[in-house]
Amino acid sequence: MEENQVTNGQLTEEVDKVENGEMVPENGESAMDNGEMVLEEIPNLEQGKIVEGTVVLVNDDEIAVNVGGKSDFTIPLAELTNEKVASAREVVEVGEKINVMVVKAEDEKTQLSKRKADEEGAWEKLKADFEQRRRVTGKIIRAIKGGLQVNVEGLIVFLPASHADLGYVSDLTALEGLEAEFYVIDFEPERHRAVLSRKEVLMEERAVVEAKMYAELAENQTRTGVVTRLTPFGAFVDLGEGVEGLLHISEIAWERIPHPSARLTEGQEIQVLVIKVDQEAKRISLSLKQLTPHPWSGIGERYKVGDVVDGKVVRLTSFGAFVNLEEGIDGLIHISQLSDRRVEKPDEVVKIGETVRAKVVKVDAEDRRIGLSLREAQERKPEPAREHREHREPRGQKQSQSIPGLEEKPLSSNLGDLLAEKMNLNQDQE
Quote the CA–CA distance of 213 and 427 in Å, as a whole number.
110
Residue 388 pLDDT > 70: no
Beta pairing class for 62-66 and 244-248: unpaired
- Closest listed residue to residue 126, CA positions, set 212, 59, 195, 47: 195
170 with 106, same domain?
no
pLDDT digits (tens, 9 = 90+) for 121-149: 889 999 999 999 999 999 999 999 999 99
- Residue 428 covered by a domain: no
Residues 54 and 98 in one domain: yes
Q: Specify the number of domains making up the chain.
A: 4
- Do 152 and 109 fall into the same domain? no
**pLDDT tier, 203 (very low <50, low <70, confident <90, very high otherwise):** very high
Q: Are residue 187 and residue 248 in the same domain, yes or no?
A: no
CATH number at residue 48: 2.40.50.140
pLDDT at 41: 56
Q: Is the pLDDT of residue 265 over 80?
A: yes
pLDDT digits (tens, 9 = 90+) for 338-371: 988 898 999 999 999 999 999 999 999 888 899 9
**Which of these ranges, 33-42, 160-169, 197-206, 262-271, has the smallest mean pLDDT?**
33-42
Can you tell me the mean pLDDT for 243-255? 93
- The pLDDT value recorded for residue 69 is 76
Do 287 and 337 share a domain, yes or no? no
- Which pLDDT score is estimated for 401? 44
Span 180-195, pLDDT tens digits? 999 999 999 888 899 9
CA distances from 220 to 128, 248, 296 (A): 49, 16, 21
Would you state the pLDDT for residue 229?
A: 94
Q: What is the mean pLDDT of the chain?
A: 81
Most confident listed range (26-35, 75-84, 108-117, 222-231): 222-231
| Sequential DSSP letters for 313-342 | EEEEETTEEEEEEETTEEEEEEGGGS-SS-
Clarify whether residues 234 and 283 are in a common domain.
yes
Whole-number pLDDT of residue 7: 36
**Confidence check: pLDDT of 399 > 70:** no
Do 284 and 227 lie in one domain? The reply is yes
Query: Where a domain ends, among 291, 316, 336?
Result: 291
Do 250 and 284 fall into the same domain? yes
Model confidence band, residue 381 (pLDDT cutoffs 50, 70, 90): low
Quick one: pLDDT band at residue 43, thresholds 50, 70, 90? low
**Dist. CA 293–CA 286, nearest whole Å:** 16
Instruction: Say whether both 192 and 246 belong to one domain.
Output: no
* pLDDT score, position 228: 95
* 40: DSSP letter: P
Q: How many C-beta neighbours within 10 Å does residue 74 have? A: 14
Residue 404, domain member (yes or no): no
Class of residue 120 by CB neighbours under 10 A (exposed 0-12, middle 13-18, buried 19+): middle
Which is it for strands 369-373 and 329-334: parallel, antiparallel or unpaired?
Answer: parallel
pTM over 0.85: no
Q: Are 322 and 269 within one domain?
A: no
The residue type at 307: D
φ/ψ of residue 54, rounded to 5? -115, 130
Residue type, 394: P
**Residue after which a domain boundary falls, among 203, 226, 255:** 203
Is 262 inside a domain boundary?
A: yes
Residue 120 domain flag:
no
Helix ranges (H only) for 247-357 are: 299-302
For residue 151, the cross-strand partners are 139, 156
**Is residue 103 predicted with pLDDT exceeding 90?**
no
Q: State whether 276 and 254 are in the same domain.
A: yes
Is pLDDT of 158 > 60? yes
Domain assignment present for 183? yes
Range 405-410 average pLDDT: 41
In a domain? residue 105: yes
Residue 211 is assigned to a structural domain of this protein: no
Question: Pick the residue with more confidence: 55 or 43?
Answer: 55
Mean pLDDT across the stretch 237-260?
92
> So what's the pLDDT on residue 380?
55
Residue 82 lies in a domain: yes
pLDDT in tens, 5-19: 333 334 334 434 444
Per-residue pLDDT of 296-331, as tens digits, reads: 888 888 899 999 999 999 999 999 999 999 888 899
Instruction: Determine the pLDDT at residue 190.
Output: 82
How many CB atoms sit inside 10 A of residue 100's CB?
25
Mean pLDDT for 372-378 is: 89
Cβ–Cβ under 8 Å, residues 269 and 259: no
- State the residue range of the domain holding 159: 133-203
